[in-house]
Chain A
Amino acid sequence: MGARFRKLVSAVVLFGAIAGGVAWFLTKPEPWPAAHWEGLGEPDIANGERVFWAGGCTGCHAVPKSEGEARLVLAGGMPLKSPFGTFHVPNVSPDETAGIGSWTLADFGNAMTRGIGRNGEHLYPSFPYGSYARLMQKDINDLWGFLKTLPKSTNVAPPHDLPLPYNIRLSLGGWKLLFFTDRPRVTVDTANPKLARGQYLVEGPGHCGECHTPRNALGGFEPDQWLAGAPNPEGQGRIPNITPGSKSIGGWSESDIVNYLETGFTPDFDSVGGSMVEVQKNIARLPASDREAIAAYLKAVPGRE
């Protein structure tokens, strides 16, 4: 009896250990091999700045309400409300202690494209690495070079304010297993360089889908609803559908979209509003060819109503 009981207990323990081990193996943070970030050469700072504006880093990381040159101080601190709790955006200025000044290119690259922090921990997808995962190594290297030219800040943001179970970082491994992908979101004709560039900008650095695509209860994108519009995560109102099937902007021409991204005016001279104001200002800093690529891509994605 005693022997059988011990056997049973050890079987259960063994099973638990194996299941736990498999779960850990499937959900553990997986940085790129070190060689992935080697040999990229001197960063092209001008291109790094272009990636910076395409990525909209200031939208979250700049000091809230700051203007002009002050927006280049990526001190963090902005609260980001979500159905899962409130995230506090970190300092990513080049300060060695409060910011990310002592990080390596590999640390930065793994955070951007794999959602892994400097200590090997999973990062919350409020940081849109699910989009940034598509960034080319060259763009990461150039962006890293540009970020290091920005002013330092000693600001320390408060920790995230999340209820159980969302405050358990380990669970993010499961989230990644379910939802993280660096594959294309939709199929477009990538033989057309304009469409390929548009897809890269929208699905990658632009991270447009993070707000414009609806999510399920666990915060993963609803399949087949890419850019189809979603409730405003910050509260009231909606983030519009930007596919060709949209009631509001489905009828816009490519040049209407280009003009909106450049000037902030809709074809009937309503203006950009909400969080899109900052996004539009950033996109307006890109070369015209990039806005044209974004417009071409938005006209090519599947229409959703």
Chain B
Amino acid sequence: MKLRTVFIAIAIAGCGMSAGMAAGEPQEVRQGLMKGVGQSVGALVAIAKGEKPYDGAVVTASLETISKNVKAFPDQFPAGSETGMETEASPKIWDNMADFKAKAAKLGTDVDATLAQLPADQAAVGAALGVIGKNCGGCHETYRLKK
């Protein structure tokens, strides 16, 4: 009886720990968000280059993912998440948090403007990417470190 309680307690504690270690860490959350942005950009680029046919649903879904992810993104940099889990976040993020957030917000604004006037063909997707894509390097120039 007592032993069972101990086992259950260990099992519960174990679950809690592994969940805390794996999915919840901000380093991994933000990496996941960026991966989603990258995949969405990839889908848009494929259309812009003519590798995939124009598909309004794909364009909408991709833009929505970028918009949603980038809005959640700057909240994933709490104190204590500066290092670990192969993070490529530059310490400059924490030195200039306001500017970092402004850059993320700018991408969100650009994407939402594109959503409001959805690119209607291959050429328009290319033009939209030209505007949206500038944000990637513009932020990574300062705030991402390759290790």
Q: Let me know if A277 and B45 touch, CB within 8 A.
A: no
A204: interface (CB < 8 Å): no
Provided the pairs A236-B91, A263-B133, A280-B137 are in contact, do residues A273 and B45 lie with their beta carbons within 8 angstroms?
Answer: no
Q: Residue of A at shortest CB range from B44? A: A269
Interfacial residues of chain B within 63-84, with CB under 8 A of chain A in the complex: none
Residues from chain A with Cβ under 8 Å of B42 in the complex: 268-269
B26: interface (CB < 8 Å): no
Q: How far is the CB of A11 from chain B (nearest CB, A)?
A: 58
Q: Let me know if A236 and B137 touch, CB within 8 A.
A: no
Q: Let me know if B145 and A236 touch, CB within 8 A.
A: yes
Binary CB contact string for chain A from 240 to 278 against chain B (1 if under 8 A, 0 otherwise): 100000000000000000000001110011111111011
Chain B's interface: helix, strand, loop or mixed, by majority?
helix
Chain A's interface: helix, strand, loop or mixed, by majority?
loop
Q: Let me know if B140 and A272 touch, CB within 8 A.
A: yes
Residues from chain A with Cβ under 8 Å of B145 in the complex: 232, 236-237, 273-274
B141: interface (CB < 8 Å): yes
B39: interface (CB < 8 Å): yes
Interfacial residues of chain B within 1-59, with CB under 8 A of chain A in the complex: 34, 38-39, 41-42, 45
Residues from chain B with Cβ under 8 Å of A169 in the complex: none
Residues of B within 8 A of A (CB): 34, 38-39, 41-42, 45, 90-91, 133, 136-138, 140-141, 144-147
Max chain B C-beta neighbours (<10 A), residue from A236, A240, A264, A269: A269
Q: How far is the CB of A74 from chain B (nearest CB, A)?
A: 20
Residues from chain B with Cβ under 8 Å of A239 in the complex: 146
Residues of A within 8 A of B (CB): 232, 236-240, 263-265, 268-275, 277-278, 280-281
Residues from chain A with Cβ under 8 Å of B91 in the complex: 236
Provided the pairs A265-B45, A268-B42 are in contact, do residues A273 and B137 lie with their beta carbons within 8 angstroms?
Answer: yes
Of B41, B133, B146, which is within 8 A of A273 by CB?
Answer: B146
**Top 8 A-B residue pairs of the complex, sorted by shortest distance between their CB atoms:** A273-B140, A271-B136, A237-B145, A277-B141, A269-B42, A269-B38, A273-B144, A277-B137
Q: Let me know if A272 and B137 touch, CB within 8 A.
A: yes
Q: Residue of A at shortest CB range from B40? A: A269
Residues from chain A with Cβ under 8 Å of B146 in the complex: 237-240, 273-274
Q: How far is the CB of B50 from chain A (nearest CB, A)?
A: 14
Q: Residue of B at shortest CB range from A264? A: B137
| Other A-B pairs, 5, CB within 8 Å; known A240-B146, A265-B133, A269-B41 | A237-B146, A264-B136, A274-B140, A274-B146, A275-B141
